[in-house]
Structure 1
């Protein structure tokens, strides 16, 4: 393939990629890894220091580049046997806004899954959790010792500051550690690696998620928390999730808030992820949560109070909130038993879960709510 010609055609584009313009972006995946690396090298040679070209992104795991759409028709026809071109679809966070709350100490969800009883065994020390979300409030007192630098994919020149609140909320449930005045998360000595892929509206693109997972794998995180989803398939997303799974990274994904009984959103639909549904204080599935055979485990997700912007607290509901409980739970085990494979973690979560309550006194048998202490004890026997 004449990859010099490919890169020169890309260089004809003078307009930078802009976050938030769906029609401007395409994901180009190369079938031959060597051609991909040759193209990246050629791109770096040709582009020089042109500032508008710095917005082109690469995923070395999937051999993909992100480019503007106006040239993809020409490239798709000219190199149709060598490149797969995918439209860059929107992805949204899985949460419903609630109300301002106060510092909850140990939140009800953390108590319900029996995390405090597990802290004498593990607090998740040194486990790295990539939170692909809206960023984090670095100044929040409950997250001062729980967060590291991370990466900002929306604005590469900045730290991943949270301008929405969702990412801070997720991070608080996972790893908040302020026992005196604030709240405590499920794994208070784990470390959150914030990956800002979502803008202030809680919106991202598949390419942002691809780049976020790529960054997490290359950074060496143990767990990736993905509290978001979409209802359309994406080859690029499946490819990067598969690569992360094969590398041993555990991916925890929210099932979605559409109240569906036989379906969940992507990427939770992929078997390489751990799909999470929500429960309430009565161990029932709230109406908003997706449920059924594609949900691997449930966790508290209704009216969850956690950290928020400007050092505050906020109540939110959604399978997003449930997912953060599961990420923290897995961190507790990995701190004591590093290297457990994702498939083993998923099986253990299901096997040690508590049956959920259904209407008319029945219980659900196929998957239940996480029991952190039982999960940890059984995992230590492996």
Structure 2
């Protein structure tokens, strides 16, 4: 996962992506803002109505406060609006039916380059003992010998039973995906893809094209085709939808996240992959009115999708932090000057800590927890290969990272030279690491289960958690002393038994166990 600062090369952007700016300009020529007491920059807002309150009067409410409606998500009581009025949010909060209103475009979280090598002085552990499962059947595409991650969770063995069903649809909520990539093109569902960056869905795979690279990487892990080109995904016969929530710079704004889950719920998606944090704040503290409004809006959208049978799977994060016992946030707001603040369990990370979401931590090729992976007894449900470029270098995984698809047009711009791979066909790939890479492995396994059983939602979540190989807490956590939490500096500690613990949940996913 490449969603946090420092080890992931994150950078802040103080505005909307290009698609969102176009949408904002179009809106500016539509309904004129009225009643604005002072003019400022065009800003996006979430307006959260009280539970049970109708949003049918939103246009009038928003207009009276000096703004215009971008999208009205009536089923969850959330409205996306824009305004140049500096007191728009305050005026909206005076409406009796409104629970909260908050600006979103001042803040963001960015995906980065898949985890930097780190600056700690720990020496790399190199071993010839790879973590591949005993008797793993290798995959058969030209670059499959580099897919240690797939061997480790016995994907090739599972493919003897199923490669997934075309009737199963995975929604990759990310920076979009390269629908022209030769390892993805056949599996992309145009009618289920959309660009949600502006807060209102623009349908189609062209609109959802990846201009960052991150989304194409996660999509390949899920559903790269078994076609004699490059690599093979966990579920190479399922269909995938690109649901673009992150812009070219890799920022995920709350309006895009809300839009994405509403789209997934309404378009037959079975499983969503979520390799990002959705926040103005890394931790959304529900005792703060602005952060509570964002938490409620995103939580409602996720619950809407879940109620439609969507299984939501999310990366745990790369902060090396215990999400079940948070103590400090030094990251937020990350587009301005971060403010160090003490936090408690009143503060939570979206989407991984939203109820019903399957949280995924990362492992490397020695089946240890990846040095960067966040964790938590209450937040980690399963583990999956995400790579580890420091503690888990092996002969099988010499750079410790996960190989997957990357847009050819972005290869030189957004993939480091040492991580680029081009196969004989000319198809392009990139090595990355992070819980962003772990989550799509778990999603692919869930898609295989759904293909075999037809299970969905919470039943599918339970089946995924059973399709694991338990990993006990390590007796010695000394290697992790070099990698304390990025926020607060707490040392990494593992809690719980082999059946469920804070580092691995119920264990590392096993594709063969899932379908056997």
TM-score (norm 1): 0.82
Determine the C-alpha separation between the residues in 2 that align with 1:285 and 1:22.
Answer: 44
Answer 1 or 2: which has greater helix percent. Answer: 1
1:325-357 CA-partner distances (Å, limit 9, x unpaired):
01110111111211x243233333333311226
Report the 3-state secondary structure (helix = DSSP H, G, I; strand = E; otherwise coil) of the residue aligned with 1:37. coil
The answer to whether the Cα contact below 8 Å between 2:448 and 2:514 also exists between their aligned partners in 1 is no
In structure 2, which of residues 143, 149, 169 is the aligned counterpart of residue 104 of structure 1?
A: 143
Report the 3-state secondary structure (helix = DSSP H, G, I; strand = E; otherwise coil) of the residue aligned with 2:252. strand
User: Match of 1:154?
Assistant: 197
User: Which consecutive residues of structure 1, in runs of 5 or more, have no partner in the other structure?
Assistant: 1-9, 15-20, 47-51, 378-382
Could you say if the C-alpha distance between residues 142 and 80 of structure 1 is closer, same or farther in structure 2, counting changes exceeding 3 Å? same
Shift of 1:11: 4.0
Report the 3-state secondary structure (helix = DSSP H, G, I; strand = E; otherwise coil) of the residue aligned with 2:354. coil
User: Match of 2:451?
Assistant: 335
Matched, 1:84 2:100: yes
Shift of 1:182: 1.1
Report the 3-state secondary structure (helix = DSSP H, G, I; strand = E; otherwise coil) of the residue aligned with 1:139. coil
Determine the C-alpha separation between the residues in 2 that align with 1:257 and 1:23.
Answer: 32
1:210-241 CA-partner distances (Å, limit 9, x unpaired):
00110111111111111111422211111111
Report the 3-state secondary structure (helix = DSSP H, G, I; strand = E; otherwise coil) of the residue aligned with 1:67. strand
Determine the C-alpha separation between the residues in 2 that align with 1:210 and 1:165.
Answer: 22
RMSD: 3.0
1:241-278 CA-partner distances (Å, limit 9, x unpaired):
12222221100011100011344832101221000000
1:21-40 CA-partner distances (Å, limit 9, x unpaired):
99822111223667313546
1:188-231 CA-partner distances (Å, limit 9, x unpaired):
01111001111111102111000011011111111111111142
Shift of 1:178: 4.0
Shift of 1:62: 1.4
Could you say if the C-alpha distance between residues 103 and 321 of structure 1 is closer, same or farther in structure 2, counting changes exceeding 3 Å? farther
User: Match of 1:58?
Assistant: 72
Determine the C-alpha separation between the residues in 2 that align with 1:225 and 1:94.
Answer: 17
Report the 3-state secondary structure (helix = DSSP H, G, I; strand = E; otherwise coil) of the residue aligned with 2:93. helix
TM-score (norm 2): 0.62
User: Match of 1:224?
Assistant: 272
1:129-148 correspondence runs (5 A): 129-148=170-189
User: Which consecutive residues of structure 2, in runs of 5 or more, have no partner in the other structure?
Assistant: 1-29, 35-39, 118-140, 285-294, 325-347, 388-400, 409-426, 478-496
Determine the C-alpha separation between the residues in 1 that align with 2:323 and 2:50.
Answer: 34
Matched, 1:211 2:290: no
Determine the C-alpha separation between the residues in 2 that align with 1:175 and 1:212.
Answer: 20
Report the 3-state secondary structure (helix = DSSP H, G, I; strand = E; otherwise coil) of the residue aligned with 1:177. coil
Determine the C-alpha separation between the residues in 1 that align with 2:74 and 2:47.
Answer: 12
1:78-107 CA-partner distances (Å, limit 9, x unpaired):
x144443234252433762579xx962262
In structure 1, which of residues 304, 309, 323 is the aligned counterpart of residue 407 of structure 2?
A: 309
**Number of residue pairs matched by the alignment:** 350
In structure 2, which of residues 21, 35, 43 is the aligned counterpart of residue 24 of structure 1?
A: 43
Shift of 1:323: 0.5
Could you say if the C-alpha distance between residues 148 and 348 of structure 1 is closer, same or farther in structure 2, counting changes exceeding 3 Å? closer
